Amino acid sequence: MKIGILALQGAFLEHEHMLQRMETDYFEIRQKKDLEQQMDGFIIPGGESTVMGKLLKELDMFEILRDRILSGLPVFGTCAGLILLAKEVEDNPTYFGSMNIRVKRNAYGRQLGSFYTRQDFAGIGVIPMSFIRAPYIAEAYEGVQILAWAEGKIVAARQGNQLVTAFHPEVNEDVRVHQYFLDMICR
């Protein structure tokens, strides 16, 4: 199995370290020719969704990736990655728009912008959750399975081959959310 990690900006190295620990092959996606490599799954890291969206378009990768996601390429979006996948983003433009959710960016206000908690994740158990200027899922529409809540908000969800978390599982030691994604690919 080989995972492509979008490495334009943001917290992609942390996802790489996670996959190294899990002894899973990966490669970085930095330019269009990197998309010639075969991938079984795709990770969109945290960072700044507007910057990543702009770079994806400038580098001529946006449409290729959108088509692959819409055709069922398994994808895991964390934080800004979640925003890029959402069909609706409150007061902001949308990008891939492949996931049937409405998202609010920078949603917890200044004080709660970054925080740590431990909450239940469906099918896994209680996991650490680090939020960094995080969004939340304001609404999950048809076909979306809610996987986790924190502070009364939806913070993880799945729709078919798409998995999103508002928090950053890659910054903690716990590999179980990444394992969930790899299991999703295998099924």
Binding residue (CB under 6 A) for ligand GLN from 68, 133, 153, 176:
133
- Confirm or reject binding of residue 172 to ligand GLN (CB under 6 A): no
- Confirm or reject binding of residue 89 to ligand GLN (CB under 6 A): no
- Confirm or reject binding of residue 116 to ligand GLN (CB under 6 A): no
- Confirm or reject binding of residue 132 to ligand GLN (CB under 6 A): yes
Q: Report the catalytic residues.
A: 79, 168, 170
What would the 3-class secondary structure string for 63-127 be?
HHHHHHHHCCCCEEEECHHHHHHEEEECCCCCCCCCEEEEEECCCCHHHHCEEEEEEEECCCEEE
- Confirm or reject binding of residue 49 to ligand GLN (CB under 6 A): yes
Whole-number Å distance between alpha carbons of 2 and 41: 7
Query: Which residue, 131, 67, 141, is CA-closest to 99?
Result: 141
Q: What is the DSSP letter of 167?
A: S
Residue 36 beta carbon to ligand GLN: minimum distance, rounded to whole angstroms:
27
- Confirm or reject binding of residue 88 to ligand GLN (CB under 6 A): no
Per-residue interface string for the shown chain with ligand GLN, residues 3-42, x marking contact by CB under 6 A: ----------------------------------------
- Confirm or reject binding of residue 171 to ligand GLN (CB under 6 A): no
- C-beta of residue 103 within 8 angstroms of C-beta of residue 88: yes
Provide the 10 A C-beta neighbour count for residue 59: 15
Residue 22 beta carbon to ligand GLN: minimum distance, rounded to whole angstroms:
22
- C-beta of residue 157 within 8 angstroms of C-beta of residue 164: yes
Q: What is the DSSP letter of 144?
A: P
Assign 35 to helix, strand or coil. Answer: helix
- Confirm or reject binding of residue 83 to ligand GLN (CB under 6 A): yes
Per-residue interface string for the shown chain with ligand GLN, residues 63-82, x marking contact by CB under 6 A: ----------------xx--
The residues binding ligand GLN (CB under 6 A) are 46-49, 79-80, 83, 105-106, 132-133
